[in-house]
Amino acid sequence: MKLQGKMFVWLSVFILVMAIVYGVWSKEPAGTTALFLAFGLSVMIGFYLSYTARRVDTGAMDNQEADVADDAGEVGFFSPYSWQPLALGLGGALAFLSIAIGWWLLYFSAPVIMIGLFGWVFEYYRGESQNQ
């Protein structure tokens, strides 16, 4: 992870330079803002990867003499399937549709969003994924 952290830090430096150059030459606010936001996102990812690399063991990707087999084994915990993103997506679509149709549609989208959000937060406390 150290390598990925360094890559994102250098990428953020490049994006910052390009944002400044683009902003000075074009004087166009939307693209300049987008580049500065990309710079911020790149800094956040680089900081996270660098911070995490200090807390975990050195992986095979950071070792120059590592084999492919050195990186084998359990990678981590991944969530099982979930229906909650579908409920959140439908609720979000209804909420954005309320801008075009009418604000009254928010009364129907808010419960769908809340059901999806609470279901996603508490999905490990009930059903077959429940901790024992």
Q: Which two tokens stand for residue 71?
A: 């990186």
pLDDT band per the 50, 70, 90 thresholds, residue 89 = very high
pLDDT 10s digits, 90-123? 999 999 999 999 999 999 999 999 999 998 888 8
Cα distance between residue 51 and residue 24, in whole Å: 33
DSSP-based three-state secondary structure for 132: coil
pLDDT in tens, 41-65: 999 999 999 888 888 776 667 677 7
Q: Where are the alpha helices (DSSP H) in 2-122?
A: 2-26, 29-55, 84-101, 106-121
Burial of 8 (0-12, 13-18, 19+ CB in 10 A): buried
Q: What is the pTM of this model?
A: 0.55
What dihedral angle (degrees, nearest 10) is formed by the CA atoms of 108, 114, 116, 120? 180
- Three-class secondary structure of residue 82 per DSSP: coil
